[in-house]
Structure 1
Amino acid sequence: MSYVIGVDLGTSAVKLLLVNQVGEVVLEVSKEYPLLHGKAGYSEQYPDDWVRQTLAGLKEIVATFSGDPEEIEGISFSGQMHGLVLLDETHKPLRPAILWNDTRTTAECKAIYEKLGVENVHKATKNPVLEGFTLTKLLWVQTHEPELYARTSVFMLPKDYVRLKLTGEVHTDFSDAAGTLLLDIEKKQWNDEMCKSFQIKPSMCPPLVEAQAEVGTLTTEIAAETGLSASLRVFAGGADNACGAIGAGVLEEGKTLVSIGTSGVVLSYEASGSKDFAGKVHYFNHGAPGVFYTMGVTLAAGHSLSWFRQTFSEGKPFKELLEGIETIPPGSDGLLFTPYLTGERTPHVDAAIRASFIGIDARHTEGHFVRAVLEGITFSLRESLEVFRSQGKEITEVVSIGGAVKNKQWLQMQADIFNVDIVKLAGDQGPGMGAAMLAAVGSGWFESLRDCAASFLKQEAIYHPNPDHVHVYNQLFAFYQDVYPATAKLSQKLANFR
């Protein structure tokens, strides 16, 4: 039996999966590392913490594995997007990495739009300019740490730095590069206009490869330290959302992914990079070669439910909190929730908007509020689906992953609100499985990622829309869409009192 390793470099931990040739997860290891919050809005990590914990995970896999390490043929990576790692000429980090959830770069976002114009930026990048993107971080370092910036030889994305330390090779893949605001996603090359406009030398941008490209083998030192074979084939890997799409089988037209964690993501397959969404959603290169995906984000998805539980239900276990929600009718007896606890991303890029409960009356119980929170999160996710549908996209099924799949009622609610079949996979492993699948295809086990998905991924359940509920939710969704414009200015005024 042969095996591959999928490494998922997350924000709080690195997760490693050892997967066999039939898609079974043989071993799973997770290693945490700290976040640094030196100032309000700052979010950083030491890149070498990622490397140290990844190596610790690899050593644990080898020590626990009952087979021969020579049977492990390939390794690939998934990683948190947008993070900025600046390296000197010896490929040593010049400063802590600035992460995707760092919000210090509001002024840089404004400067990008002011210099090039909103329409020109969206035309060049196919994405809105947000604090999370890598370009804004580069501009912040230019302004606030110019001596350090002058010493920069190359910038890298988080997973690519880890892979560099395993192989000695500098690369990034198209799906991660797409999240920098510096890639021409259609031409699949660094965007000269964006680089020249902001004094970024072409040599600072790492060489580009496909996510399943073989980029080297382990160095002799890393092989000796981990116990893995020095001939282990290393494949580039992709951005976490791209790998999540691969791991959910979103590899053909009509396939869409909904992932509900702390935030919520709606991701849909696109065969072409030529559509124009005017910056309303993200538009990135897929981890599968030659194709793309569009993505909308709800900032406080699962976080809204966690907040409600902690604030009003004394930390009651989630299973207990959700018991009985099926007894509450769709629409929660006239109670509506908008999940804008920390602002919103899609389709409203608004850091000031805040959440609302609308329609509270004395009949409403804890169960009503819980169901309203679930409905509000799902309505927010539907707004991204409607952006896709407005461009003529036909969505035939949605694969649901993340915390929501633990509750059957919430899965049925997604089917009813989205008005589409919801698929729950067996053994939901997310981006780590996508990384393993890249390694499996790169190692020659399958001709394509689609073939790999057909073998590795199994459906556990399908939830079909209830026509009566669909009718109710279509009406309520129109009301939900009225709440943002009705409360946006009020939220801005209330911000002065926070």
Structure 2
Amino acid sequence: MPVVAGVDSSTQSTTVVLRDADTGATLGSGRAPHTPTFPPVSEQDPAEWWAATVLAFGRARENAGIAADDIVAVSVAAQCHGLVPLDAEGRVIRPAKLWNDTTASAEIAALTERIGGDAWTDRIGTLPPPSFTIGKLAWLKAREPEHFTRLAGVLLPHDYLTWRLTGGTPGASLRSERTVTDRSDASGTGYYSAPEGRYLTEVLELVDAQKAWADMLPEVLGPSEQAGTVPAATAAELGVRADAVVGAGAGDQHASAVGLGIAPGELAYVLGTSGVVFTTSEFPVFDHSGIVNAVADATGAYLPLICTLNAAKVTDTVARLLGADHGELERLALAAPREADRPLLVAYLDGERTPNRPHSRGLLAGLSSETSREDLALAAFEGVVLGMERGQRRMQETGLALGGRLLVTGGGSGSAAYRQVIADVTGRPVEITDAVDAVAGGAAAQAAAVLRGADIRTLRDEWAPASRVVAEPGGHDYTRIRDTYTRAADWAGLDGAFHD
């Protein structure tokens, strides 16, 4: 039985999902953790990702009960926007800066002033926030010039793992080896235009005019193009068939859209460490406010999305402060009265990406002597969801029709409180699917498409999981709450509100 593998390399861990190449049935999975990071400085050693990938493959094979030779195709999805800086010998120069590292805010602000925010948005579909790779490159030149001088290759996290899968060897000449990326992940760098289908080296020249940028960037492949094959030595290390086909890979949310089978007009609320709301679109969206990131998707179209830095970790934090476990926090929130003047939490605990408030902090408003543990628990869930729903409303203001299903996924999707609050705030039924690892599952679908020589949309539709409604709106009026939240959030994001 031929088997395809999908890899999800996230901030927290690497997950490998094995699926039947013919039917899409999930056969087993394995996971290995990464060292935790703590924004605003968020960095990891890419060698750790590779070690976790090897470990996760072994666990997945064991759980599935299959042999290494059964795995005939692999694709990698990973966290976006990171910077993996390589020298001329393919060695990692310094730890990779991750998507939730916001230390490049000054560099992004300077580049935006030089380029013009609207002009930049009109080229790439997004006003780059500090998380985008272009800011990290400018940061590297300004803060670590000795490392920038050695820079000879610029990869994203999934590019690095794909390079290692296809035989890339640290210590060998980088110029002699092929490096690739895909359109979805490249569109989150700040220097690739998906509408134009090309790198904007003129933007990179604003960072440094002397670098031969065109020679330093990976080739951008289409969604069903082959990146290469797994050589024998690497296959033995991973436990896959030698010469297994390797797909182009994708960004994590982009692969998730494939794994969930999201069609245009449908919405996904992703509740992980971060909070993401996305849909798919056949056409690009250009949001000059910078709220909506109109990146490319993993099928050749587009994936308009908003991403907040603070999601499930907010409820984790409030549970700790209340001395409650997750089950008790949910029970408290669901039992809370919905008073119009109840406390509200602006959940900018570690700064915020959407809106772009890297120096902000959380704000709890509306406390009184009658505030209860139930009120505080509800405020935690509502603070996360109101921030995400604010981004959703901006997506609709750009002209996107979002009347289809609303799916909830990610680690927080199992929470009855999150499901109910999303239904209440949006006024829409909430659905879930049986897709446990949508990102890795979507990457596996891409691997199958490459193996078959098929359009990835065909596999997306064939393998789309069924969904079911798990929460209905409770009929609560959020007009006043939404207005109060917006005013409090705008104040919390003011420069100097919490810092001199």
TM-score (norm. length: structure 2): 0.90
Contact kept in structure 1, 2:361 and 2:498, CA below 8 Å = no
Q: 1:228 aligns with which of 240, 262, 265?
A: 240
Q: Which amino acid aligns with 2:195?
A: E
Q: Which amino acid aligns with 1:310?
A: R
Shift of 1:450: 5.1
Contact kept in structure 1, 2:346 and 2:362, CA below 8 Å = yes
Unaligned runs of 5+ in 1: none
Q: Distance in 2 between matches of 1:331 and 1:17?
A: 44
Number of the residue aligned with 1:108 = 107
Unaligned runs of 5+ in 2: 168-177
Q: Distance in 2 between matches of 1:322 and 1:475?
A: 24
* Number of residue pairs matched by the alignment: 485
Q: Does 1:350 align with 2:360?
A: no
Contact kept in structure 2, 1:296 and 1:345, CA below 8 Å = no
Shift of 1:321: 1.9
**Which digits, 9 at most, give the CA deviation of each residue in 1:448-496, with x for residues without a partner?**
4355344341214353434x32xx113321222222344545x724324
Secondary structure in 1 matching 2:348: coil
Number of the residue aligned with 1:287 = 298
Q: Which amino acid aligns with 1:19?
A: R
Secondary structure in 2 matching 1:42: coil
Give the % identical residues: 25
TM-score (norm. length: structure 1): 0.90
Secondary structure in 1 matching 2:499: helix
Assess, with a 3 A threshold, how the Cα gap between structure 1 residues 475 and 453 changes in structure 2: closer, same or farther. Answer: farther
Shift of 1:248: 2.0
Contact kept in structure 2, 1:8 and 1:432, CA below 8 Å = yes
Alignment RMSD: 2.4
Number of the residue aligned with 1:495 = 499
Number of the residue aligned with 1:190 = 199
Q: Distance in 2 between matches of 1:64 and 1:266?
A: 32
Once the two structures are superposed, the pairs formed by residues 290-439 of structure 1 within 5 Å of their partners are: 291-311=301-321, 313-314=322-323, 316-331=324-339, 334-346=342-354, 348-396=355-403, 397-439=405-447
Contact kept in structure 1, 2:330 and 2:416, CA below 8 Å = no
Q: Distance in 2 between matches of 1:280 and 1:190?
A: 23
Secondary structure in 1 matching 2:431: strand
**Which digits, 9 at most, give the CA deviation of each residue in 1:243-298, with x for residues without a partner?**
12222222x22111111122211112121125444422212110112x11111122
Assess, with a 3 A threshold, how the Cα gap between structure 1 residues 216 and 465 changes in structure 2: closer, same or farther. Answer: same
Contact kept in structure 1, 2:286 and 2:294, CA below 8 Å = no
Bigger Cα displacement from structure 2, 229-238 vs 363-372: 363-372
Q: Which amino acid aligns with 1:492?
A: G
Q: Which amino acid aligns with 1:5?
A: A
Q: Distance in 2 between matches of 1:103 and 1:441?
A: 36
Q: Does 1:45 align with 2:44?
A: yes
Q: 2:190 aligns with which of 176, 181, 193?
A: 181
**Which digits, 9 at most, give the CA deviation of each residue in 1:126-185, with x for residues without a partner?**
323322211112122223443433333221111211111121341011111111101012
**Which digits, 9 at most, give the CA deviation of each residue in 1:395-414, with x for residues without a partner?**
12211012332233431321
Q: Distance in 2 between matches of 1:31 and 1:352?
A: 32
Q: Distance in 2 between matches of 1:196 and 1:159?
A: 24
Contact kept in structure 2, 1:23 and 1:457, CA below 8 Å = no
Number of the residue aligned with 2:264 = 253
Once the two structures are superposed, the pairs formed by residues 112-131 of structure 1 within 5 Å of their partners are: 112-131=111-130
Q: Distance in 1 between matches of 2:285 and 2:292?
A: 14
Secondary structure in 1 matching 2:77: strand
Secondary structure in 1 matching 2:19: strand
Assess, with a 3 A threshold, how the Cα gap between structure 1 residues 330 and 248 changes in structure 2: closer, same or farther. Answer: farther
Contact kept in structure 2, 1:330 and 1:473, CA below 8 Å = no
Assess, with a 3 A threshold, how the Cα gap between structure 1 residues 345 and 33 changes in structure 2: closer, same or farther. Answer: closer
Q: Distance in 2 between matches of 1:271 and 1:243?
A: 16
Assess, with a 3 A threshold, how the Cα gap between structure 1 residues 28 and 419 changes in structure 2: closer, same or farther. Answer: same
Q: Distance in 2 between matches of 1:222 and 1:473?
A: 55
